[in-house]
Amino acid sequence: MKVAVVGATGLVGTRMMEVLAERNFPVTEFFPVASERSVGKEVTFKGEKYKVMSADEAIARQPDLAIFSAGGGVSRDLAPRFAEVGCRVVDNSSYWRMDPTKKLVVPEINADVISADDFIIANPNCSTIQMLLPIAPLHKRYGIKRIVVSTYQSVTGSGHKGVAQMEAERAGATEWGTYPAYYNYPIDQNVIPHIDVFLEDGYTKEERKMIDETHKILRDEKIGVSPTTARVPVIGGHSEAVNLEFERPFELQDIRDIWNRTPGVTVCDDPSRNIYPMPRYALGKDDVFVGRLRRDPSVENGLNFWCVSDNIRKGAATNAVQIAEVLVDKGFLPRY
């Protein structure tokens, strides 16, 4: 199988290559793609060095699969060109997610929507993926009326630039503008309640993504979703405080049992021993870790929980590779 990674020199692209290797995805020819300024640089895949090529060169080689992590504009322009040569595209940007002609997929939840006609498939937002993985089986069982979620998102969600700003500040940089500054304010020892651009209704685009993507993935427009997203000075993963209001009664032990049977979810919940999910310990892992499970006494059939996941892995790279694995399993990509 001929596989291209578009955005191979970026933070997520690098992780995509690692995940492809870890999961032994059947790659026979590998094409790392990046912007013109990166063409000719070397990247390592499965212990071998590869020179970064242009998108035009990769398209000419007619790959079977292209996994994108290069921004919405790049995906808008290049994904259709790859698809035109018969290449299946899994796109990590936000550009195609809400396109009604494109599928938005978390494989553990809705792999069934992928068909032979799908040549561009969208990877959801990282915050949406980690929230919906534990929520989806609960919605099937109890029916979710409303979700209130607050996110505490790692600087890795901003790529190399967000990490560089925090590291510069932790190294002692204090004079604004004299060091790499991706955010509007210092991030170290700070919390910034602002991810992506603000919309007219006062929500940010990141928050709107969580609303719209939840409806599309769960195939239920009636669910109320009220998100607040914030950036925190953390490397390791995103954290979320989630409040659910169900249509039907539930037992806490039944929730735990459902999660213990859900692929990709790990219950980490023992307050008596101070055991709960934390981003420090999610780093490098693919599961969504859930804990701090408790009833919400302020509303009938209400549940609170805390979840953590490595946003670069399950929130991006791993989910994209899992979509590609579904394409193989369904016979839409060649087996070698």
The catalytic residues are 126, 238
Q: How far apart are CA 315 and CA 321, in angstroms?
A: 11
200: exposed, middle or buried (Cβ count in 10 Å: 0-12, 13-18, 19+): exposed
The torsion of the CA quartet 2, 7, 9, 12, rounded to 10 degrees, works out to -100
For 231, the token pair is 């950036």
- Per DSSP, which regions of 139-203 are E strands? 144-153
> Strand, coil or helix: what is 155?
helix
The pairing of beta strand 103-104 with beta strand 88-91:
unpaired
In this structure, which amino acid lies at residue 7? G
Q: Are strands 42-45 and 48-51 parallel, antiparallel or unpaired?
A: antiparallel
DSSP 53: B
Phi, psi of 278 (to 5 degrees): -145, 145
Q: Which tokens sit at 259?
A: 């999660």
Q: What distance in Å separates the CA atoms of residue 221 and residue 16, rounded to the nearest whole number?
A: 32
Tell me the C-alpha distance between 223 and 144, whole Å.
6
Angle between helices 126-142 and 205-218 (to 10 degrees): 40
Cβ proximity of 51 and 40 under 8 Å? yes
Measured CA to CA, the distance from residue 56 to residue 58 in angstroms comes to 5
User: Encoding tokens for residue 139?
Assistant: 């919605």
- Do strands 144-153 and 120-122 pair parallel, antiparallel, or not at all (unpaired)? unpaired
